[in-house]
Amino acid sequence: MALKYEEVIAKYEPSLGLEVHVELGTASKMFCGCNTVFGAAANTQTCPVCLGLPGALPVVNGKAIEYTIAIGLALNCSIAPYSRFARKNYFYPDMPKNFQTSQYDEPICTNGYLDITIETDEGSKDFRIEIERVHMEEDTGKSLHMGGATGRIHGADYSLLDYNRAGIPLVEIVTKVVNGCGKYAPEVAKAYVSELRDVLRGLGVSDVKMEQGSLRCDANVSLRIIGSEKLGTRSETKNVNSLKSVERAIRSEMIRHAELLNSNQRVIQETRHFHEDTGLTTSGRSKEQAEDYRYFPEPDLVPIAPSKELIAKIAATLPEKPSVRRKKLQEAWQVPDKEMAAMINAEVLDLVEATVKLGADPTRARSWWLGEIARIANEKAVAAADLAISAADVAEVVALIVKGELTDKLARQVVEALINGEGSVGQIIEARGIKVVSDDSSLMAAIERAIAAAPDVAEKVRGGNIPASGALIGAVMKDSKGQADAAKVRDLLLKHLGQG
């Protein structure tokens, strides 16, 4: 019998530790000139350096260093005047040199923080997530395990290696232990990753696509009895690849830990894998015996010593913080906190902004993205941004509504068709023969019929009770089988009843 989340948080205090890996969007790899485009044919974006051929040597990508400094500054970190790369030694077939060039005890950025806000039933709550370090490293290649049932290495017949990803610049952002979230821990984690993603997107240093793995989150969770000082044993759930999964994975781990602890079993220190379908994690690799990576300073690279001028130059070009940007948008759009939070939660804020930029009014833009489109995205279990509808499409639909060429109901059909890939807005309207009834005389006749059917309501409206007009408008819409433009009906009706 599974424990309820409420029972978990009544007894235990969770602690979190989040490690986020970000693939930087540099044109070339971390230590060589190879291309970094995603999805190229296997092993076509490789050279002696990123294949780890004997004799090849790394040269640091200056752009990657600048990007990392920008990330550090955006996360309020200190930038080390002197830092070094180190070798992390372990054997794995998709790691060409059998060591990863990373940073160890001398990372480039340390001691920062990121402030986040979550909306709760008790109102908004602010949290400061402290950042331990931001460091650079190179990505590994990819192993594709062929045959067998699971796609995992166990039971595979053979494996294929693709080194295109080997050497792609990665930045790892590690938080300090996050305490004091209580029951909100899963939301806090999600909000942190979301905010971090916005910061990174704003900096333009990565395309931050969780599904493609350009942003990956490892979530460490432990529980301790409320009031106790000592942290519990943690588990580390690897490569959680959506914001929603971050929240789900942490919640699931909290419940799993609590169940173990309640039955006097011990939590094993290990990595876990999160499964989207079941919402549960399964055991990965034990970390009980700390692996010995035999770190030592990378002798093939010289220390990184960014000048004060370079750091100042990068600091001067930082974009405004996402929180500041959001505040500005909220003021400009006159949106309540809850609505704002809803847009952020549904990951449509950027889309709404883009739609508004293309001329749509903020209220309509918001209601489309947060309403109909979010609903379909939810149904399809994908992000709104990944549907086949763009901000330009929505702006076009909104413009047609304003012009009276589409009603809300017809517009919904167009939006659905757009998402189904039936073509452009114009093509869809033409193909489906969608046309708005805007003939005033036929509308007026319908209005007359509605008034005649409910004279008492009409009297209320005449007396100044505008909301009462809703019933009449509804009757007209019904009469026209939804083809009429509701806004137009409202205008005509109110005018007719002396309230226009």
State the residues that interact with another protein by CB under 8 A: 48, 51-60, 87, 89, 91, 93, 96-99, 159, 161, 290, 292, 294-296, 299-302
CB of 80 to another protein, least distance (A): 18
Minimum distance from residue 91 beta carbon to another protein (Å): 6
The residue to which tokens 């405004």 are assigned: 320
- For another protein, give the closer residue by CB, 84 or 216: 84
Indicate the residue among 32 and 200 with the shorter CB distance to another protein: 32
Instruction: Provide the minimum distance between the beta carbon of 300 and another protein in the complex, in angstroms, as a whole number.
Output: 5
**∠ CA 61-64-70, rounded to 5°:** 150
Assign 300 to helix, strand or coil. Answer: coil
CA distances from 176 to 1, 105, 333, 412 (A): 34, 15, 36, 46
Contact call for residues 197 and 216 (beta carbons, < 8 A): no
Q: Taking the complex as a whole, how short is the minimal distance between the CB of residue 258 and another protein, in angstroms?
A: 33
Q: Which residues contact 318 (CB under 8 A, 6 or more apart)?
A: 70, 73, 74, 203
Helix (H) or strand (E) holding 492: helix 486-496
Nearest approach in angstroms of CB 47 to another protein is: 8
By C-alpha distance, which of 130, 174, 171, 169 is closest to 19? Answer: 174
Cβ distance to another protein smaller for residue 159 or 212: 159
Coil, strand, or helix at residue 132?
strand
User: Can you tell me the distance from the alpha carbon of 397 to that of 403, in angstroms, rounded to the nearest whole number?
Assistant: 10
Q: Decide whether 296 or 465 has the Cβ nearer to another protein.
A: 296
Spatial separation of the C-alpha atoms in residues 261 and 255, rounded to whole Å = 10
- CB 224: neighbour CB atoms within 10 A? 18
Nearer to another protein, 149 or 290 (CB): 290
**Shortest Å, Cβ 301 to another protein:** 5
Cβ 293 to another protein shortest distance, Å: 8
Residue 218: strand pairing partners:
19
Which of 55, 36, 32, 56 has the alpha carbon at shortest distance from 45?
Answer: 36
Integer Cα distance of 144 and 234 in angstroms:
29
DSSP code string of 361-423: -HHHHHHHIIIIIHHHHHHHTS-GGGSS--HHHHHHHHHHHHTTSS-HHHHHHHHHHHHTT--
CB of 222 to another protein, least distance (A): 23
Q: Which is nearer to another protein, 93 or 423 (CB)?
A: 93
Q: Which is nearer to another protein, 58 or 322 (CB)?
A: 58
Cα torsion through 41, 42, 46, 52, rounded to 10: 180
Show the CA angle centred on residue 216, arms to residues 213 and 222, nearest 5°.
155
Nearest approach, Cβ of residue 306 and another protein (Å): 15
Dist. CA 404–CA 436, nearest whole Å: 7
The least distance separating another protein from the CB of residue 338, rounded to whole angstroms, comes to 51
Residue 81 DSSP one-character state: S
Name the residue nearer to another protein (CB basis): 72 or 141: 141
List for the chain the helix, strand, coil content (%; round to 5): 40, 20, 40
Residue 38 or 295 with smaller CB distance to another protein? 295
φ, ψ for residue 201, nearest 5 deg: -65, -40
As measured in angstroms, the least distance from the Cβ of 278 to another protein is 28
Cα gap 32→263, rounded to integer Å: 53
The nearer residue to another protein, 56 or 358, going by C-beta atoms, is: 56
Give the residue with the Cβ less far from another protein, 124 or 159.
159
- Minimum Å distance from CB 302 to another protein? 5
Of 31 and 369, the one with the shorter C-beta distance to another protein is: 31
